[in-house]
Amino acid sequence: MGVPELLLDTVLDRAVVGYSRLGYAVRRRTWAADDPAPDALRGRVALVTGESSGLGEATATGLARLGAEVVLVVRDLGRGEQALARVRAQVPAAKVRTARCDVSDFASVREFAARESRVDVLVHNAGVLPPERRESVDGHEITFATHVLGPLLLTELLRPALRAAEDGRVIFVSSGGMYTQRLAVDDAEYRTGTYRGATAYARTKRMQVELTPVLAERWRPDGIAVHSTHPGWADTPGLADSLPAFRRLVGPALRTAAEGADTAVWLAATRPGPPPGRFWHDRRARPAHLLPGTRPPAGDPERLLRDCLAAVGR
């Protein structure tokens, strides 16, 4: 990327226009046509959570196009089978199957992990934006359980399989909304203050981004690379259900689900692998903080990880 393109990219990012389909259209012109290579994931197994529609389905489709054997990890097998049919309709030769797992439920996570002996790529895409505070079956606030605790437990349980893989990769699909939040290490369960689902969502997406470099160090000795990314403003069923007013406001500027999923697919497939521990958008590492006052005190991400590991029994 030349200096003019780099400056334009930075301006788009800071102006938030980069989150729109315009930002994607401008940036993709600077990408190599053969990156990732057409068969970059041939022979590799990719697990994608939150698979039944939207970004998860688009991510699965992109991975399948690159030759991966894809496991659609879903809570609802019926909806998962419908997503599987749509993936196969777009990629007729796709090797794809469904598997049930509720990532907010630790018992479900353990049962699922015990059945999976092979994984090269793990994409944590499952998400929830509740209208009111509720807890998982294990007693944790539901966005915290779904976005942070469950993915952490699943990765820890699949660590031997990822270690055995050549170039194992773990990808957290975060959100640009996390830029508005500080790391809530002292109230990770959102027990104080007025509960707002959108805030809970953004807080736990901030946790994913802050934990990414810490987890990259934790899993680096096993040869496992950890990344986080955000999709920009993508038009998905989840957005329509959770933030209908926002969708009406910016509808024409929204990306397609495939455009939103592009960087997650790229992180899974590009060779050599990108530097681990970073936060990505449109195939470029981005700052984790844009607003004043959101940077956590030294040691807080590590403290959050210790608390999370204790919560999941690790």
Instruction: Mark 269-292 as b/e (b = at least 16 C-beta within 10 Å).
Output: bbeeebebbbbbbbbbebebbeee
Angle between helices 300-311 and 150-157 (to 10 degrees): 70
CA dist., res. 139 & res. 311, Å (int): 10
- Looking at residue 88, what DSSP letter applies? H
Rounded to whole angstroms, how far apart are CA atoms 260 and 177? 14
CB 58 within 8 A of CB 32: no
Backbone angles phi, psi at 103, to 5 degrees: -70, -10
Strand order in the sheet with 69-74: 95-100, 69-74, 45-49, 121-124, 168-173, 224-229, 279-281, 284-286
- Residue 178: CB atoms within 10 A of its CB come to 24
Active site residues: 201
Residue 72 in contact with residue 81, Cβ under 8 Å?
A: no
Q: Which residues of 203-235 are buried (b: 16+ CB within 10 A; e: fewer)?
A: bbbbbbbbbbbbbbebbeeeebbbbbbbbbbbb
Nearest to 231 by CA among 271, 268, 269, 258: 258
